[in-house]
Amino acid sequence: MPGELHVDASLFMGMHSKDPAVRAAATTFFAARLRQPVVMKLEEVGRCDDYIWQLPRDVQDAYYPFMDVLQSLMPIRRRPYDADALAALAGLPAGPTAALRHRDRLLLASVVAARGELVTLNPRLIPLAGSGLPVRTPGPAAGRGVFPAELDKLYEQSLALEADHAEL
């Protein structure tokens, strides 16, 4: 049985990326999996909130209805880091992961420990795709994914927020 899909803040906020290709890839990923579970570490959820809370209030007000409904519909399993993730941290291959930020290494270790797969748009983690580590991008999309009508309407409204996903 394949492991769970893990997502990070870069993929979640990628739905609002300033880059249309990134936005399409992220939105297509989430729209296609709206009823399928994914795992998101609590720190990654917090990273999204931290980014949004620094924006003007009117942008937050345009964004949060979409995020609230999406997270109510999609079974996002929010999990803390645990002892297994800390143990896996020591076993990460030094070569490809040595230059990563501590938080990126811990996220990767938690995915390894869970025998899952990380789907990311994090420019520091993308080079690890194809390296034997469980990292991949959502892949390119021809156009943006479309959510069910009411959620899609909220998504369109939420596009008042344009994120630089590389900041996450």
pLDDT in tens, 15-27: 999 999 999 999 9
Question: What's residue 1's pLDDT?
Answer: 42
Give the whole-angstrom CA distance, residue 111 versus residue 116: 5
**Domains within the chain, CATH numbers bracketed:** 5-160 (3.40.50.1010)
* pLDDT for residue 106 is more than 80: yes
- Rounded to two decimals, the pTM is 0.94
Give the whole-angstrom CA distance, residue 29 versus residue 23: 10
Give the whole-angstrom CA distance, residue 25 versus residue 8: 14
Question: What's residue 166's pLDDT?
Answer: 63
Give the whole-angstrom CA distance, residue 117 versus residue 133: 9
End-to-end CA distance of the chain: 31
